[in-house]
Amino acid sequence: MGLAPLFPRLYMDMQAAGWLNGFVGAGPGATDHWRVRMSGSGPAARLQRLFEGHRLTPTQRRIAHSMVRRAGDAPFLSSVELAELAGVSQPSVTRFAVALGFDGYPALRRHLREVAPAGTAVGTEDAYNEYQQAVRAEIENLQHLTELLADPGPVERAGRLLAGSRPLPVLGLRAASSQARGFGYFAAKVHPDVRVLDEGGSALLDRIDAVRRAGATALMCFALPRHPREVLDGLAYAQEQGLTVVTVADSAFAPVAKHSDVLIPGAVGTGLAFDTACAPMLLGRVLLEAMCDALPDAQARLEEFDARAAARGLFVE
């Protein structure tokens, strides 16, 4: 089944912006969002390509990072040696191999020996340490975002939807809560009524009811992996109550897609133990800009705030 019959509104927005390139027709083996692919054929690059596309736990990422750091030796390490190298338990190494699609660690090691035999020359990309690789990965994510925004139509539409909602609820739970709070902080300087929803549980639906009764017409959502089930439940409920959902997520195929009216994807970096979210954060600022453009009194509100801040001596610079 194609994307269009599943998510018609999302499909139209993405199609209009040309954002389906690289997704539709990619086949079941494609990764679920723009993962960074290191060029080259060195051992570290091959390991990175093996790991990408898999959602690994922090412990499993620790194992992956240890293997990348010892890329030349990785095919010849026993499970016990790898566990000691990564500072994890031996069963964690076995679970790591299974998460990558192998029957166990011996199968993973056989695969590594086949594709990255001893003596392979180290490629240029292997000159970068894991921290540099994480930065380079985020740079590539931002380059993809630059291409994505070549058509500003969906962002401008989202800005109008957010500007027209009174109040404006901003949802973000767990890993995405900081994105929601940051967006809400700045949005409150130009929008008259912003309400950040950054706590889950049974109270979340109550707060969605409250903003709907107060007149809200749209909901802004930040959704990052690992995606909490309560976010999906909250978005489904918001749509049932008539709210239009605008979502920034890590992927066009993220679980929240089916509960989003406008979804704008920004890939996260997965090279460190915890995801990095430069592209989603920047998308939040882009949406703020689009919302300001749709609010006729945004500039006046900003000037009023600056005047009050100067009078109160809020800032030292």
* Angle, in degrees to the nearest 10, between helices 79-86 and 90-99: 100
9-14+151-312 has which CATH code? 3.40.50.10490
Indicate the helix (H) or strand (E) that contains 215: none
**For residue 61, what are its two tokens?**
């990422």
Terminal CA-to-CA distance of the chain, rounded, Å?
Answer: 57
pTM of the model: 0.68
Are 267 and 250 within 8 A, CB to CB? Answer: yes
Poorest-pLDDT segment among 13-27, 132-146, 174-188, 220-234 = 13-27
Q: What is the pLDDT of residue 285?
A: 97
Which has more pLDDT, 87 or 2? 87
Question: In this predicted structure, what is the pLDDT of residue 41?
Answer: 56
Q: Is the pLDDT of residue 264 over 80?
A: yes
Chain length of the chain: 317
Would you kindly state where each structural domain of the chain is located, as residue ranges? Answer: 9-14+151-312, 27-137
Task: Work out the pLDDT band at 227, boundaries 50, 70, 90.
Answer: very high
**Helices 130-148, 278-294: crossing angle, 10 deg rounding:** 30
Confidence of residue 32 (pLDDT cuts 50, 70, 90): very low
Structure tokens at 194: 């912003």
Average pLDDT over residues 51-68: 83
pLDDT at 128 over 80: no
Question: Are 43 and 71 spatial neighbours (Cβ–Cβ below 8 Å)?
Answer: yes
Q: How far apart are CA 204 and CA 187, in angstroms?
A: 21
| CATH code of the domain made up of 27-137 | 1.10.10.10
Higher pLDDT, 76 or 214: 214
pLDDT over threshold 60, residue 58:
yes
Identify the band that residue 126 occupies on the pLDDT scale cut at 50, 70 and 90.
Answer: low
Residue 203, number of CB atoms within 10 A of its CB? 11
Task: Say how far apart CA 170 and CA 172 lie, in whole Å.
Answer: 7
